[in-house]
Structure 1
Amino acid sequence: MALPTSFLRRASVLAALLLATTAAAAQSSKPGSPWQRGIENQRQADLGNGTFLNPVFAGDRPDPSVLKDGNDYYMTLSSFDAYPGLPIWHSRDLVNWQPLGHAITRNVGSIWAPDIVKHEGRYFIYFPARTGGTEGSERSNYVVWADDIAGPWSEPINIGLGRYIDPGHAVGEDGKRYLFLSGGDYVQLSDDGLSVVGEPKHVYDGWKYPETWDVEAYAQEGPKINKRGDWYYMTTAVGGTAGPPTGHMVITARSRSIHGPWENAPNNPIVRTVSRDEPWWSRGHATVIEGTDGRWWMMYHGYENSYWTLGRQALLEPIEWTDDGWFVAKGGDLGSPLAKPAGESVGAHGMALSDRFDGDRLGHQWSFFNPAQDEYKRLSFGSGAMTLQGKGRTPRDSSPLTAIAGDKAYQFEVEMEIEPGAIGGALLYYSDRLYVGVGSNGERMVMHRYGVERPTNGLPAGKGGKLWLRVTNNEHIVTFHTSSDGRTWTKYPTQMEVSGYHHNVAGGFLALKPAIYAAGDGKVHFRNFSYRALDY
């Protein structure tokens, strides 16, 4: 009897994972080893046997923009309301990535779809931002620049273009610099890349999919320009970012001139989720990248089947060029291991989410949600603790600190010393309208559910005290435990189901993230934040 394709695929993945796990265990089994730190917070893409398995970057990594700089690759992503924002990652093989820092700390709004480029020795990131949240009506486009990829980065420079999102940088055959924009328009940049010259012009009408397809909206966006031979290629997303799993897609067009006319690929869409049974939904918004060995790749995002809550994860797919100068996707539905790109690893992939708070600054894993301009003044460090001055009364108005989880099942714990007048807590946080968690003033508990408080008026000032909180998210089933000594735990009497805490329900294009918060008038001292992935 023939075995089902899904069974064979799963068997091949498990076999590859077993080989990788065995090899990694042979390298190091010591607590705190790079291997253990690497797998603490997200699934490993590198299987250790010359192959990788998507997601290449688990968790909320939307709109990836990748720059090839010699044998190095640098990536940034949409950071939306999280600050520090515009995270920058470094790789030499497109699979293993290490954090370098962030390109922006000042809140200019919700940051969408950036483009990272290098021009005449200087690095630039172009990005749109909306004020009033991801759905805010006020928006503009900005640029930051640096002479070293590790920074320091400039303050954000407002270049306008408020009608548009998703700027993509290009250099034309005339040597001039341009930004391609949503809707098929483009505009010239000044020679220094820090301002706009003239008015945008329409240059590309896109590619129209059949009306019978289930998509969110046409939404022509995310243009990325690359040049190969005598051709410029404009790779674009259409079909809407979320909505039906079959909506988002990658299309491309080419022209011998940056000014057009642009001819659509005969094999559009290059990538599209055809069925909701596939492992990855809403695949789109691609950057085309040349590998160091002549092979080519696309990096784009997609939602994992049934896990909109994790956000859009970064996916890597090989492409091949046809004899007539187009490219085709060769990764299938990305459910099976693929041959790794060439290049050496820069080290253990990702970063640990656990934090002993024994440093003197905020770790790379943390970002405030929609902070005020002076938000960082709330922070201080010392005696093995991160101290956070209270703000607001509830998670909604306290700008919680959030981290990106890449696992379907995980658990985290944190120790809190709550000063009189303060409220501290642990959360799964989607936005200021939707979150779950537990908080305390040191005397009483408050439950956060559906983005509201029980009791509904929150908590009054209390006498403070010590409390340990544990949050378990086991494939959307959330359980809380509390402890007064960090050893004996009591299960909180209410459990929650959070599979609906995502964009298609609440808007925002965000992800459900582990978070901690401090509210009220006092301070909360956080110690020993510990995160671990669970088997599933």
Structure 2
Amino acid sequence: MTVNRRDALKSVGLTGLLLGTTFRSPAAAAQTEPVDRCDAPDLAWPRGIEGQRKADMGNGSFLNPLMAGDHPDPSIVKDGDDYYMTFSTFNAYPGLVIWHSKDLVNWQPIGPALTKNVGSVWAPELTKHDGRFYLYIPSKETATPGSKTTSWVIYTDDIRGEWSDPIDLQLPYHIDPGHAVGEDGSRWLFLSGGDRIRLSDDGLSTVGEVEHVYDPWRYPDDWIVEGFAPEGPKITRHGDYFYLITAVGGTAGPPTGHMVIAARSKSINGPWEQHPRNPLVRTESMDEKWWSRGHATLVEGPKGDWWGVYHGYENGFWTLGRQALLAPVTWSDDDWPEFGGGDLSQPIKKPVESRNQVHGQALSDDFSTDKYGIQWNFFEPGADEAKRITRKNGVLHLAASGVSPADGSPLIVGVGDQAYEFECDIEIDDGATAGLLLFYDDKQYCGVGFDKDRYVMHQYGLERHRRHNPFGKRLHMKVVNDRHIVSFFMSADGKSWDRFDRGMEVSGYHHNTRGGFLALKPGFYSAGEGETRFRNFRYRAL
């Protein structure tokens, strides 16, 4: 008798935990156009390159997430027929990859905008003004305790070209800048907490002092939230009004906390009128597919319609980080934006029919081309970290650094699948230790490494030397992450595999247990002395 894996999991009550659950709320049923699909959540999404999840269903509809995996705090700009978007990248450098789309659903990476390390960066603002693109970037230095918070600006006249060096705007105590241009042409940054500051005409410095201009809408006292935390202000001018879209309720913690609210004014100087139907977006139940939904930006669609891009955690998969979501926006008879899509667990009609639109990129890497910054990033790199990498004849040479992944800046890559495997051919020098990881941060990671004599286990951010390594200085290693159940495999030739004698469960490797707003990412490291040579990194969604 053949037993379906999903039915087997149901019998032991693990379906919701290991597979997640697709929920259909009355709001979703009323506001979206459902498409027939398999009931199993792991088969619900269309599959793209290497079986990776993508949104475009190929039948005129899309299914969230818009950008699977760690894509928080989306900032989007429309430039003619083109759309550009970027996301918080925190401690990973190079950072702030710019993505491009024609249809708002399928996206391709262009390259990283930020190469100089300014600390942990989050909630950037991508905008275009008078023919020039700007990125306003809040950051916190992480090298020393009590380090400063500020915001930077970088700019370019060619979004596919190089960006300027960062300029410090000297903005402590504020995050999440949102660019706005007033009715008189004045330029502003709206900031967390309902504050703002004026910008110079060139947008590269501030003028005057921070001022408080807006008291955000307050939710009822009995709502379960993380904290008030007004943040992520985004200004959109539409018709006779400036619309101020803000997030409140905290960005993680209780799934029902994060939300989207709105206010409007006929002048950039206020006064600001609260939306009578706030909040516009909020997770109301732990049964919903998407949790902690918030941090929205409005954008005009290809046909003149309107859409909202925001982020949320996937039910049961905090480890993937906050994922980018797309929802339709309509304008009410009293000139207010209204978000549709319900809890976004159901397919939605695409903004425009599109053909030959490829989404995402292959994560497998034969190291014949340079994907540093587009795919691979160092975690908290030093100023000269990039010099550790050389490529020769399809081999990535990575100089050793530190004694473990905790102090050696591993190379990591973001993924968006609930289940996947990755493998690599690894060869070490005599004094080196190297291996494959699932990496959250320098205190929370797991994996297996090896030196020429022994294996080393990485679990909970701790190292434990293990039994004899029979492969010596070169082996093939594979990691399987099947919805948080992790297995490791070793091979001499990459064809015949032996399962390693230890496995792990990693559902707790996420922000609500560790902090940091990051995601659990595949990666590899080289520590000790000498170098490690990596060949044929392969990724496959399961």
> Is residue 521 of structure 2 the alignment partner of residue 500 of structure 1?
no
Residue type of the partner of 2:541? A
> Is residue 286 of structure 2 the alignment partner of residue 276 of structure 1?
yes
Q: Give the CA deviation at 1:151.
A: 1.8
Cα deviations by residue, 1:345-388 (Å, 9 ceiling, x for unpaired): 57310111110111256362111101001000000001211110
> Is residue 398 of structure 2 the alignment partner of residue 398 of structure 1?
no
Partner of residue 277, structure 2? 267
Q: Give the CA deviation at 1:342.
A: 2.0
Q: Give the CA deviation at 1:490.
A: 1.4
Residue type of the partner of 1:452? L
Q: Following superposition of structure 1 onto structure 2, how do residues 444-483 of structure 1 map, counting pairs within 5 Å?
A: 444-455=454-465, 465-483=473-491
Q: Could you tell me how far apart the structure 2 residues matched to 1:431 and 1:86 are?
A: 18
Report the number of matched residues.
Answer: 513
Q: Could you tell me how far apart the structure 1 residues matched to 2:87 and 2:156 are?
A: 17
SS at match of 1:152: coil
Cα deviations by residue, 1:252-285 (Å, 9 ceiling, x for unpaired): 1000111111111001000000000000000000
Distance 1:527 1:73, change over 3 A: same
SS at match of 1:469: strand
SS at match of 1:396: coil
Q: Give the CA deviation at 1:17.
A: 7.1
Partner of residue 484, structure 1? 492
Q: Give the CA deviation at 1:410.
A: 0.4
Partner of residue 67, structure 1? 77
Q: Give the CA deviation at 1:39.
A: 3.2
> Is residue 450 of structure 2 the alignment partner of residue 440 of structure 1?
yes
Q: Could you tell me how far apart the structure 1 residues matched to 2:171 and 2:374 are?
A: 31
Partner of residue 166, structure 1? 176
Q: Following superposition of structure 1 onto structure 2, how do residues 50-449 of structure 1 map, counting pairs within 5 Å?
A: 50-132=60-142, 137-342=147-352, 344=354, 347-360=357-370, 362=372, 364-449=374-459
Partner of residue 46, structure 1? 56
Q: Could you tell me how far apart the structure 1 residues matched to 2:229 and 2:267 are?
A: 24
Q: Could you tell me how far apart the structure 1 residues matched to 2:191 and 2:23 are?
A: 41
SS at match of 2:255: coil
Whether the 8 Å contact between 1:135 and 1:508 is mirrored in structure 2 is: no
> Is residue 36 of structure 2 the alignment partner of residue 15 of structure 1?
yes
Cα deviations by residue, 1:64-110 (Å, 9 ceiling, x for unpaired): 00001111100010000000101100001110000000101111100
Q: Could you tell me how far apart the structure 2 residues matched to 1:234 and 1:430 are?
A: 34
Whether the 8 Å contact between 1:292 and 1:343 is mirrored in structure 2 is: no
Partner of residue 28, structure 1? none
SS at match of 1:381: strand
Whether the 8 Å contact between 2:319 and 2:520 is mirrored in structure 1 is: yes
Whether the 8 Å contact between 1:441 and 1:459 is mirrored in structure 2 is: no
Q: Could you tell me how far apart the structure 2 residues matched to 1:168 and 1:157 are?
A: 17
**TM-score, L = length of structure 1:** 0.92
Whether the 8 Å contact between 1:422 and 1:518 is mirrored in structure 2 is: yes
> Is residue 523 of structure 2 the alignment partner of residue 524 of structure 1?
no
Residue type of the partner of 1:261? P
Q: Which stretch shifts more, 134-143 or 417-426?
A: 134-143
Whether the 8 Å contact between 2:97 and 2:373 is mirrored in structure 1 is: no
Q: Give the CA deviation at 1:311.
A: 0.2
Q: Give the CA deviation at 1:136.
A: 6.2
Q: Could you tell me how far apart the structure 1 residues matched to 2:113 and 2:67 are?
A: 19
Cα deviations by residue, 1:149-196 (Å, 9 ceiling, x for unpaired): 112100111111111000000000111110000000001001110000
Q: Could you tell me how far apart the structure 1 residues matched to 2:125 and 2:246 are?
A: 13
Whether the 8 Å contact between 1:80 and 1:134 is mirrored in structure 2 is: no
Q: Could you tell me how far apart the structure 1 residues matched to 2:228 and 2:344 are?
A: 24
Q: Give the CA deviation at 1:40.
A: 1.9
**TM-score, L = length of structure 2:** 0.91
Whether the 8 Å contact between 1:41 and 1:352 is mirrored in structure 2 is: no
Whether the 8 Å contact between 2:450 and 2:456 is mirrored in structure 1 is: yes
Q: Give the CA deviation at 1:484.
A: 2.2
Residue type of the partner of 2:508? G
Distance 1:269 1:76, change over 3 A: same
Residue type of the partner of 2:349? A
Q: Could you tell me how far apart the structure 2 residues matched to 1:74 and 1:345 are?
A: 19
Residue type of the partner of 1:252? A
Whether the 8 Å contact between 2:54 and 2:66 is mirrored in structure 1 is: yes
Distance 1:200 1:121, change over 3 A: same
Q: Give the CA deviation at 1:483.
A: 1.4
Whether the 8 Å contact between 2:311 and 2:325 is mirrored in structure 1 is: yes
Q: Could you tell me how far apart the structure 2 residues matched to 1:505 and 1:397 are?
A: 21
Partner of residue 18, structure 2? none
Q: Give the CA deviation at 1:5.
A: 8.0
Q: Give the CA deviation at 1:451.
A: 0.5
Q: Give the CA deviation at 1:16.
A: 4.6
CA RMSD of aligned residues (A): 2.5
Q: Give the CA deviation at 1:526.
A: 0.5
Partner of residue 27, structure 1? none
Cα deviations by residue, 1:117-154 (Å, 9 ceiling, x for unpaired): 00000000001011117996521100110000112100
SS at match of 1:376: helix
Residue type of the partner of 1:421? G
Whether the 8 Å contact between 1:215 and 1:248 is mirrored in structure 2 is: yes
Residue type of the partner of 1:506? R
Partner of residue 32, structure 1? none
Whether the 8 Å contact between 1:82 and 1:370 is mirrored in structure 2 is: yes
Q: Could you tell me how far apart the structure 2 residues matched to 1:361 and 1:469 are?
A: 21
Whether the 8 Å contact between 1:395 and 1:432 is mirrored in structure 2 is: yes
Distance 1:400 1:284, change over 3 A: same
Partner of residue 31, structure 1? none
Residue type of the partner of 1:155? D
Structure 1 portions without partners, runs of 5+: 25-34
Structure 2 portions without partners, runs of 5+: 1-21
Whether the 8 Å contact between 1:249 and 1:283 is mirrored in structure 2 is: yes
Distance 1:345 1:130, change over 3 A: farther
Distance 1:86 1:339, change over 3 A: same
Whether the 8 Å contact between 1:237 and 1:285 is mirrored in structure 2 is: yes
Q: Which stretch shifts more, 488-497 or 94-103?
A: 488-497
Which of these residues, 510, 513, 521, is aligned with residue 513 of structure 1? 521
SS at match of 2:204: coil
Q: Could you tell me how far apart the structure 2 residues matched to 1:361 and 1:314 are?
A: 23
Partner of residue 6, structure 2? none
